[in-house]
């Protein structure tokens, strides 16, 4: 899917973007062009030091914002495949700055769809979040709107040879603003604040997220929302794994926060197929034959009443497994 192609990643200087670029340059030596599109010039400068043009002549750094349709359209010229990772994602910030999130996450998605139509892009996968399933905060609501836009774009493409799909996954271990770095920073204070002792979360590391996105390009037909099967952890186990000597203080749930995170809701289950290591929520309407899709991909329908959230999971990380994940994927110097 990637060799010989021109690739653009929006939000290319963010946590996922940097890991995606690292994976691509080391595993797909024959790509034609890799365009890193983001609005942060400092992060682009820092990335450029890692990928000097004399060694990586196929890499391009393109300053721009997904809110700017003209600039985004220019960036998509000659592009075959897009990974859309650009987003505003901090839940508390969204509650106090709603229009900023709508402009980036919703209108930015629409801008990218139009840019794809104008430039003959062939493939696009957009990154979503578990917070887009039955959202209770504005960030999740904007990502749900974004998901709907990309799924619906398959109905608006006309004769264009392009496919749009979405990948939805849980909290990325160690990403900027996530709970693991927060707990690591709080260890010296002697107190670890948790919002509720019953809280659970899905988890995935950046390498797994990148690989799942690339695999989704190989199997998608357009319109699916792909969801990996992930382990969950209890927030109390995370606190024990990172800071066993600290006091754990219950500070209450923050605005827009859930006790358990969902990735497939009860209402999604009639349109959800199960595979060995992932699920796919199919698009509404007769976009393509469901029975033929199941036969082709080796899927089975989910049972009526099925839903998938971090509290009803069958796979859980132990305290020791959490510690290993933190050391392997967040801080190689981590010790208890």
- Per-domain residue ranges for the chain? 6-170+205-228+263-308
Q: What is the pairing mode between strands 200-204 and 171-172?
A: parallel
Question: Phi and psi dihedrals of 32, rounded to 5?
Answer: -80, -45
Q: Which one of 141-150, 168-177, 192-201, 286-295 scores highest in mean pLDDT? A: 141-150
For the chain, percent of residues with pLDDT exceeding 90: 82
Residue 131 known to be catalytic: yes
102 vs 251: CA distance, rounded Å: 29
What predicted TM-score, i.e. pTM, was given to this entire model? 0.93
pLDDT-derived band at 29 (thresholds 50, 70, 90) equals confident
Angle (nearest 5°) at CA 301 between 297 and 303? 155
Pairing relationship of beta strands 225-228 and 278-281 according to DSSP bridges: antiparallel
pLDDT (average), residues 37-49: 96
Express each pLDDT in 227-280 by its tens digit.
999 999 999 999 999 999 999 999 988 777 889 999 999 999 999 999 999 999
Query: Crossing angle of helices 206-219/15-27, nearest 10°?
Result: 60
SS3 annotation, 216-275: HHHHCCCCCEEEECCCEEEHHHHHHHHCCCCEEEECCCCCCCCCCCEEECHHHHHHEEEC
What gap in Å lies between CA 284 and CA 191, rounded to an integer? 47
C-alpha span between 317 and 171 (Å, rounded):
14
By the 8 A CB rule, do 232 and 203 touch? yes
The number of C-alpha atoms within 13 Å of 200 and in the hemisphere containing its C-beta is 20
* Interatomic CA distance for residues 142 and 132, integer angstroms: 8
The C-alpha atoms of residue 184 and residue 193 are separated, in whole angstroms, by 12
When the pLDDT of each residue in the chain is averaged and rounded to a whole number, the result is: 93
Give me the phi and psi of 174, to 5 degrees please.
85, 5
Question: Cα 227 to chain center, whole Å?
Answer: 10
Residue 286: pLDDT band (50, 70, 90) is low
Fold of 6-170+205-228+263-308: Rossmann fold (3.40.50)
Residue of 18, 19, 89, 131 marked catalytic: 131
Res. 178 pLDDT band, cuts 50 70 90: confident
Q: What's the rounded Cα separation, in Å, for the pair 233 and 245? A: 19
């Amino acid at each position: 899917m990637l060799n010989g192609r021109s690739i653009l990643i929006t939000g290319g200087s963010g946590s996922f973007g940097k890991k995606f670029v690292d994976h691509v340059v080391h595993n797909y030596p024959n790509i034609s062009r890799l365009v890193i599109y983001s609005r942060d010039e400092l992060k682009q400068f820092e990335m450029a030091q890692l990928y000097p043009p004399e060694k990586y002549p196929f890499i391009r750094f393109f300053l721009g914002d997904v809110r700017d349709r003209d600039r985004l359209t220019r960036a998509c010229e000659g592009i075959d495949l897009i990974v859309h990772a650009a987003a505003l994602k901090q839940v508390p910030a969204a509650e106090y700055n709603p229009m900023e999130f709508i402009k980036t996450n919703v209108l930015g998605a629409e801008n990218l769809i139009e840019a794809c139509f104008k430039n003959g892009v062939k493939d696009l996968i957009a990154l979503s979040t578990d917070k887009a399933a039955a959202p209770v905060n504005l960030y999740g609501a904007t990502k749900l709107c974004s998901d709907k836009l990309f799924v619906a774009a398959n109905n608006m493409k006309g004769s264009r040879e392009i496919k749009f799909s979405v990948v939805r996954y849980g909290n990325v271990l160690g990403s900027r603003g996530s709970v693991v770095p927060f707990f690591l920073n709080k260890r010296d204070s002697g107190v670890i604040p948790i919002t509720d002792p019953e809280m659970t979360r899905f988890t995935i590391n950046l390498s797994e997220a990148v690989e799942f996105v690339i695999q989704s390009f190989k199997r998608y037909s357009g319109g699916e929302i792909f969801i990996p099967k992930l382990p969950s952890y209890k927030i109390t186990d995370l606190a024990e794994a990172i800071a066993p000597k600290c006091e754990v203080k219950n500070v209450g749930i923050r605005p827009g926060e859930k006790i358990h995170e969902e990735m497939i809701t009860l209402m999604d289950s009639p349109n959800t197929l199960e595979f060995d290591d992932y699920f796919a929520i199919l698009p509404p309407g007769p976009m393509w034959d469901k029975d033929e899709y199941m036969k082709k991909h080796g899927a089975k329908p989910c049972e009526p009443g099925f839903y998938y959230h971090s509290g009803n999971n069958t796979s859980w990380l132990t305290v020791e497994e959490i510690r290993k994940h933190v050391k392997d994927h967040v801080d190689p110097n981590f010790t208890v």
